Amino acid sequence: MERSTRQRTAIRTVIDAAARPLTPQEILAGVRETVSEIGIATIYRNLKLLIDDGTIQTVSLPGENARYEMSHAAHHHHHHFHCVPCDRVFDVEGCPGSMDSLAPAGFEIDRHELTLYGVCADCAAERAAERAKAAPVPKRRARAPKTH
């Protein structure tokens, strides 16, 4: 069993507090708030140790670098939502259920992974604010002078 270090404790804390899968760069940014001298090589080395001891699990999305989440979060079946503008990934609770009808005839599905792609609530609010700023202000119609 590996000894616990300040860096490893900080990495676990950041991943657990995020409650969503994080990239090594997101983990580094979070850990630097408490362990300012840590580097990316230390992050990767500790991620490997935390995977090996079962504390964290890798989340793989098609065409993306690995992200990491706590194993206790990964032990229940869930899916992911990938926000395209900010590149963050969030857990999606629930499942559409059996995918057997999607498989070709005679095939058996052992497991499935589902990733939704779109815009998270933060990015959607930011977009709405930008649209509101960019929207032209309606011109007031000048009133015709009253004639008596």
Residue with tokens 């992050």: 43
How far is residue 70's CA from residue 17's CA, in Å, rounded to a whole number? 10
How far is residue 53's CA from residue 56's CA, in Å, rounded to a whole number? 8
With contact defined as beta carbons under 8 Å apart, do 71 and 57 qualify? yes
How far is residue 84's CA from residue 120's CA, in Å, rounded to a whole number? 8
Q: How many residues does the chain have?
A: 148
Residues contributing to the annotated binding site for Fe cation: 77, 112
Residue with tokens 């270090």: 5
Residues contributing to the annotated binding site: 77, 83, 86, 112, 120, 123
* Closest by Cα among 73, 58, 67 to 87: 67
Residues contributing to the annotated binding site for Zn(2+): 83, 86, 120, 123
How far is residue 32's CA from residue 35's CA, in Å, rounded to a whole number? 5
